[in-house]
Amino acid sequence: MFQGRRWHAEAFGDPRDVLRLAEATWPTPEVGRVLVEVTACGVGLPDLLITTGAYPLLPNPPVAPGQEVVGTVAAVPDGSAFTVGERVMGVTAFLEGWGGYADFAYLGEGTTQRVPDAMSDEEAAGFTIAFRTAHAALAQRVMVSQGDVVLVLGAAGNTGAAAVLMAKALGAKVIAVASGPERLSFCTGLGADHVVDRQTSDVVDAVHEITGGDGADVVVDPVGGDLGTRAAAAVARLGHIAVVGYASGSWLTLDPVDMVLRNYSAAGVFAAGTPAEDALAYGALRELANRGAIKTPVSSLAAFTDVPEVISGIRTAPPGKTVVLVR
């Protein structure tokens, strides 16, 4: 048994109102899991959705946010591929009520990865989900090729930023969509070839101007809503939309007639797969990270005691990854 603190909520609501810090006990992990003493936890929009009751996979409380962590292996079941003391990163058992804003966290062994020596704890805390999603979108579901034009919506967010970096690593030309000078500058720093301010420009017109009227070979959409729906008109003939998320609060709306007439497709993207798919993806991500092609763009660090405030303010956080330091 392991004792420690964890943030959790017994009811849905504003994180500042419902999250409570309490003592908890973690039993020795079952087969298929490892128990990690958490060093840091990456903050993401799903933490807010989980806590407010807007996350579709967790319709009922209690809940414990915190999807991804870095830490040191504290306990393993018999036959595990990991040993106590190793530095690892991975996805928590938040769907079972064991989130990452805690002194300890359970990780699924299949998504647990040893942290490369050159990767800091802060970078590792925000690496797994964003880059696994970007890999699923651009190397598994859509298969971006050298020279393709990739349009990334919400490019200054966690998922969007990872998609920009992944697309560049795969040799694509990237058009990044964000709002305001600070976020556009951030996207340029990531390596985006072009940036479009969605507040002052029509995204479709801008893409057609940049591409000479051809459109984008791939649209990565973690935003949905009106922006995602409008961006479908920027897809090139024979192109693809990677449907990733709904940061706007709603999914994009697709027009089947338009898809047929212009011969483009849409693919759903989820940051998980079969054991074989995960092994392939994490192997590729490890190789890209080791050669410096992808790296978590950490922008701010927060204290463990500030978790409710940090999650509540995630929509207005500066561009880049926010990470909570647990110890």
Q: pLDDT tens digit string along 21-56?
A: 999 999 999 999 999 999 999 999 999 999 999 999
**Count of CB atoms situated within 10 Å of the CB of 282:** 19
CA distances from 106 to 35, 43, 136, 253, 312 (A): 5, 17, 23, 36, 24
pLDDT of residue 69: 98
For residues 267 and 240, the answer to whether their CB atoms sit within 8 Å is: yes
CATH fold, domain 130-268, is Rossmann fold (3.40.50)
pLDDT of residue 271: 87
Omega within 30 of 0 (cis) for the link into 46: no
Residues of the chain with pLDDT under 50: none
For residues 276 and 141, the answer to whether their CB atoms sit within 8 Å is: no
pLDDT of residue 231: 97
pLDDT of residue 272: 86
Q: How far apart are CA 317 and CA 304, in angstroms?
A: 17
Closest among 146, 145, 151, 147 to 194, alpha carbons compared: 151
Domain edges within the chain: 2-127+296-325, 130-268
Closest among 271, 286, 273 to 135, alpha carbons compared: 271
CATH superfamily of 2-127+296-325: Medium-chain alcohol dehydrogenases, catalytic domain (3.90.180.10)
pLDDT of residue 14: 98
pLDDT of residue 145: 93
**How many residues appear in the chain?**
327
